[in-house]
Structure formats: structure tokens, C-alpha cells
Structure 1
Amino acid sequence: MTVDVNTAFAQAKAEQIEPMHAEARAFQERIDRGEIRPLGGDRYEVLTGWDAGETFIVQRSTEGRIEQILAQHGLDTTTGGAALYTTTPAWHGLGAVIPGGISDIDEVLKLARIDWEVSKRRVLYEWDDGVRVAADRYVTVRTDSGEALGTVGGRYEVFQNRRVFEFLQDLVQRYDAIWESAGALRGGRKTFVTMRIPRSIVIDRGGLDDEIILYLAAINSHDGTSQAESVVTPWRIACGNTERFASQDAVHRWGIRHTKGGLSSLELARRTLGLTLNYAKTFEAEENQLVRTDLLIDDFHELVDSLWPVDDDATDRTKAFIRGRHDQLDGMFREQARKLGRTAYAAERTVTDFLDHRTQVVPRNLSEDLTRAQRTLEGTHDDLKTKAHRQLLSLAR
């Protein structure tokens, strides 16, 4: 069985958006549960699940009834179409889909609608005696539309879209690689390109055959707000959400400053990538240990209790919530055990699935408290996953 987060995300989107169109009440119910918060006007933000951070636009009738809910993909549409090339159809159904993919950079640039360049222009401002030039300040401008993307300093080096493709080719020393996806976000302020790493992680080869596919992606900023970066990630970037997920879930991240030598440190980058591939081998070996380790249901309960300890002075309401969470995790583990066997690997998959897709925040109100709570929650997930992995690995050893 191949574990592909991209397929799971697309399925989740289809399962989520279509029922919203069929029954508008579901949207309000998600707001009531604290899964979605209003941003003002007709915009809403999702707080949990695969699409946490995504925004929706809600179109209402004159009577206030929800008529249409539109997911915001974040892709650039400056040229009249979505700036996306991909080998696999995305959840939003946009972009140029080329099954099997292509290796020619210029063709991908054209299909992805990012065959434009960026130039630096002096910042001018009006003053009493006319127009003046701001010292050492420049505007980055798209050469096809003239749109201003951001403001930068004199030492800022523009990384052209084509150069980023060449950087990835030089990095892996392959010039026939198939490009998985490419495109632009937020009016061209960000661009991305993704290629698949030849070696994937296979867990329990010949048995479960769970394959985790990894991609090498480069994310470039043209607005001066962030450095460029290369990431090794399980995500194939195809929208604003997956760009965010690719960075959040990166196995490896290597930042690239917008300077003249920023794309030249290939040996350091290759060395870091090599460490990443070694990490993948280590991770695969550890996961295979978990597959071979039987786990009693009591051991799983102890793991849950250690991940979410109960304070001695917890209120009855809190204790009831914890019991509900405990029962939910117990049911999820038993379901995983039916498919994967009652093993430490099934326990880890249960905890990961719960943290990624089942955790909810129910705030006191839908304002700053919710945003603060959600940020705190997101910051602890990786720690909990790591803690669970280490504890289960100690049992395996």
C-alpha cells in the first residue's frame, strides 16, 4: 500500500467540499465546533484537518442563505488561467495536467504560466519639489504584466524562475528528471517547482509494502519577505495549502538567501541532501522495527496516557473530555490493528492520524483566543509525534 499524502488530501477535499454545496448547514456546524472561523465579510478560515489555514469565500443570497462556498487555491491567475503545471490532477481541478510529466524546463515554464522574469526598478516618491529616488530601495516587478511584487534592498538578488529549475537539476546532477509540479502563488510573489526523489521509503517490504514517496521542491519568493528554500517533503505542491504543508512537513529544509552566491553552494546543498537520504534509510529501518513489534492494548493505553497526562486538579469536565479522547484513540487503534496487525507501527499510525485529522480546538469565543489556541496546538504536534515514535521504538528495542 502506498502512503501518498497528496492523494489523501485530494480525497479529503472532494469529501469535504461537495457536501458543503449539498447541505449548507454543514458549514455552520463546523463554525460551531470551532473548526472554521469567520475572518470578516464573506471570508472564513479553516482551522483543523488537511486544509488548516485555507480560506473560503461564502456567497449568500439576499436573504442571507449560503448559496456557494468557494475554496481559495491561492494560485496566480494574472495571465487569465491558474499558474500550475502538474503530473496529477489537483483537488481544485485547475492547471495544465500532463500525465507522466515532462522534463523540458522551457515547456514546463510555459505550461505553468511562469515563463516570465522579474526585474528590479528604483523606488520613486513624490515630494514638494518633484519626484525623488529612494536610496538603495527597489521594487521587484514582473516583466510580463508590470505588477509590483515587493520592495527590496540593493543587495537583493533576483532568482529567475528558470534558474530555480536549473538549481534543482544541478543539485541532483540529473538533467532528464521529470518535473512533478510547478507554478506561482499570490500574484507571482511565490513560485515553486517539485521533482520526485528516486528512492522512496518502503515499510515492511513484501508484507504491508507501505511506500512513502518523497519530493524535492524549491520554493522561491519574489517579494522580499522571505528567503528561497529547498525542501525534501512528502507533498507535491499544487496550491497554496500544499505549498504550506510542504514546508511544514519537510524532512529537510535548506534556506537560500537572495544574494549573488545564493544558488552556488551546491556542494553544501548536496551534502545536506545526502544526510537527508541517510535519514530516510534510518527512518525506514526504525519503522520496520515497529512493524515487527507486537503491542498489547494496555501498552497502547500507557502510550496515550503518557502523551496526554491528566493533571491531579483537572475538573470533571476535563476528565470527561480526556476519557472521550481515550476512547476515540482506542477505537482508532483497534481499527488500524485489523489492517496492520496489533503492532507498534499501528500505534504510531493511530497517533499520527489523530493529531493530523481528528484534533479540534473548541475556544471560548471565535476571536483572538481561537487563533492563539490553534497556534499553540500546531506547535506541539511535531513534539508529540516524536515522543510517540521514540517511546514505541524503545519498546521495539
Structure 2
Amino acid sequence: MAAEVESMFYVREAPWHGLGTRVQEAPDSREALRLAGLDWSVVQEPIYTARKELVEGHKANVRDSDGKPLGVVTDRYRVIQNREAFAFTDSLLGEGVRYETAGSHLGGRKVWLLARMPHEYIISGERVSPYLLFSNAHDGSGAVRVALTPIRVVCNNTLNLALATAKRSWSMVHTGDVRSRMKEAEDTLFLAGQYMDSLGKEFDALRKKKLSDRQVMEYIEILLPLEDGSTPQQEKNTRRLREDMKMRYFDAPDLQGVGKNAYRFINAASDFATHAQPLRKSANYKENLFLKTVEGNPLIDRAYQMMKAA
């Protein structure tokens, strides 16, 4: 599905995802929302049949700026406006937060804001910068969600591993007393710190898992399988992808001093998943990659599970 991004921005320097329109400053979430074109509200309107009969138990979420319908929801659904949802990140992260990008996709049905947290971590001797993604859905399809995405600074690789020992995300459905529950989300910062601590321990463990060159090639073939019945062109494409990932493991300058181990393989897989050119480049491939990356990339997760079992 195309991301259908309506608007995005970034502040000063192009961020790791390379998306958006450059602006000079976004001092708080209110200004970030204006720059991203998200300074509108959701109103709820009754729904009628073609015979003018009221549809009970449901309402339409409508964007007030242009009257565009965003979704049909039940009476139990509680709207969380862009301004109040994203102002939450101001109070959550406090002074020093940098809003890198914000935007909407699917015609405004889903919106997000990505903030760079005000401090970096040194993990296994490397700088890792945590980002916090706050997303909200106005079409009834999803919850308010806060997710942590650590970025390895030297190469902009995402390291959002699905750890069993710590949570990377928090979510809340649009029912009940949602505003009081948003206050509970202050625990998100504690969860973020806990995740980063667990990530450091996991990196240390992965560094100790040595891999031979032969094992690396076998893992690449498992990660990028050649399906039975593939056409000659499909076989050629798969071999090209394998060569690409092989290069990212063996030849990447930032991995030369890491050693040949599971940690290096995870970084190569992340580099491949985050930066490799697709076989077919759609108009919105960068947006789709960004959304998949911050929410959790299946290829990185598979590589991580393979290294856990190695």
C-alpha cells in the first residue's frame, strides 16, 4: 500500500530517513504540527442513510479544515486531537527535545511526529541516538502509539530489535478515559531507558558470537531465500540482493573494526533493510520504508532471531 504522505518537514539537517521539507526551527510540537500541515482538528458528525435515517451507534470522524471524512467509528470512540496528542511529547521529553519530522499519510487518517531524544547513549563503544515516534490514527484502525527507534549514529542504521527483555513501544486505544490514561504514558521514558539498557547487554552478547565467512553466507541465503520455481529474472534479482548484503557485511567501512560476529551481521542486515535500493522503486518507497522502519522491520527482526539462535 502506498504511504500517500500528504506533508512532512525536517529541521535544519536532513535526518536519517532523508524525508521532508527543510525548515529552520520547530521549537515545540505546536509549531511542528503547523509546519507539517497538521494544525487541524477532528470533528464527529452523525451518519445518515440515503433515506435520511440516522445510523445509530456510529459517527464519522471528519477533518475540519476541508470537511474530508477520515473514518467511521463507534460512539465509544474518543477523539485525541493532533495538538493534544503531540503536545504530550513536549511534557514527556521536556527541554532539549528536537522535533525532526511530522506528517500525515493516507489522506490524514494517520499522523505522526518523530522526536530526537535529548541525550545519546554509548553502547559497546558506539554512539546510539534514540528517537521517539508518536503516532495517532483518526480512522478507528489503530491506537495512539509511542515507539522507540535507536539509531547507530555513525551510519544511520536503525537498531529497533524486538527484545524479549524490554518493551520498545506503548499504545492506548481510543476508548474510555483516554486523557487520564495518557498521563500514565509518562512511564514511556522509563521503558525507553530500560530498553536502551537491555539493548546494550544484547549487543555485548551478540559481539561474543563469532561467525565464520561461510556461516555469514549461509545466513544471507536463509535471510534472502531463492524460492522454488523462481524465474531466471527472479533468481538474478535474489543474487543481486545477496551480493548487496554481502558487501554491507564484509566491506562497510564502519564495521571494519567490529569483528566478524553476530553484532556485525545485525548491522549489515539493518543497513540493507534501511538503505538498499529496492528492485522496483515506487513513488513513495522512502515513505513506506520510513514507516516500516520505525514500527519494526521484519527483515531486521528475522536477522536478529537468527543470530539469537546461532
TM-score, normalised via structure 1 length: 0.56
Partner-residue secondary structure (3-state), 2:77: coil
Show the 5 A alignment for 1:120-199: 120-127=44-51, 131-172=52-93, 174=94, 177-199=97-119
- Structure 2 distance, partners of 1:105, 1:327, is 42
For residue 93 of structure 1, report the CA deviation from its aligned partner: 7.0
1:96–1:112 Cα contact (<8 Å) kept: no
Counterparts in 2 of 1:264-279, with a 5 A limit? 264-266=180-182, 268-279=184-195
Verify the 8 A CA contact 1:149 1:188 in the aligned structure 2. Answer: yes
Structure 2 counterpart of 1:347 = 265
Which stretch shifts more, 252-261 or 300-309? 300-309
SS in 2 for 1:126: coil
1:230 corresponds to which of 139, 146, 149? 146
The 1:262/1:351 distance shift into structure 2, 3 A limit, reads: same
Change (3 A) 1:187 1:249: farther
- How has the CA–CA distance of structure 1 residues 124 and 379 changed in structure 2, closer, same or farther, with 3 Å as cutoff? same
Partner secondary structure for residue 256 of structure 2: helix
Aligned position for 1:259: 175
In structure 2, how many angstroms separate the alpha carbons of the residues matched to 1:215 and 1:156? 29
Tell me, yes or no, if the aligned pair for 2:9 and 2:20 is still in contact at 8 Å.
no
Residue 232 of structure 1 deviates from its aligned partner by 1.2
- Aligned pairs for 1:365-380 (under 5 A) are none
Look up the SS of the partner of 1:384 in the other structure. helix
Residues in 2 aligned to 1:263 and 1:162: alpha-carbon distance in whole angstroms: 13
Distance change in 2, residues 1:249/1:199 (3 Å): farther
TM-superposed CA distance for 1:164, in Å, is 0.7
Query: Which entry has the higher C-alpha Rg, 1 or 2?
Result: 1
Indicate which of 129, 141, 145 corresponds to 1:213: 129
Contact 2:266 2:300 in 1 (8 A): no
Matched, 1:381 2:299: yes
Correspondent of 1:287 among 203, 219, 225 = 203
- CA shift in 2, pair 1:183/1:336, >3 Å: closer
Name structure 2 gaps, 5 residues minimum.
Answer: 152-157, 280-295
Q: Can you list the C-alpha shifts for 1:120-162, whole angstroms capped at 9, x where unaligned?
A: 11112232xxx22221221111222122221111121111111
Deviations 1:49-94 (A, max 9, x none): xxxx55xxxxxxxxxxxxxxxxxx6232xxxxxx333214478875
Contact 1:348–1:388 (8 Å) recurs in 2: no
> In structure 2, do the counterparts of structure 1 residues 254 and 246 end up closer, same or farther at CA, with 3 Å as the change threshold?
farther
Q: Counterpart of 2:154? A: none
Query: Deviation per CA, 1:211-232, whole angstroms, max 9, x where unpaired?
Result: 3322112111112222221111
Q: Please tell me the root mean square deviation across aligned C-alpha atoms, in Å.
A: 4.4
- In structure 1, C-alpha distance between the alignment counterparts of 2:241 and 2:174, rounded to whole Å: 48
**What TM-score results when the alignment is normalised by the length of structure 2?**
0.69
Superposed CA offset, 1:286-308 (max 9, x none):
32454466654355467668878
Equivalent pair of 1:141/1:149 in contact (CA under 8 Å): yes
State the partner residue of 1:97: 23
Q: Indicate conservation of the 8 Å contact 2:150/2:159, yes or no.
A: yes
Question: Which amino acid in 2 is paired with 1:106?
Answer: R
How far apart are the structure 2 equivalents of 1:164 and 1:102? 17
For 2:194 and 2:306, the matched residues in 1 are separated by 22
> Aligned equivalents of 2:273 and 2:258: distance in 1?
21
Aligned to 1:109: 33
The separation in 1 between residues aligned to 2:42 and 2:307, in whole angstroms, is 44
Look up the equivalent residue of 2:105 and give its one-letter code: L
8 Å CA contact retained: 2:28, 2:90: no
Cα distance change on mapping 1:144 and 1:96 into 2, 3 Å: farther
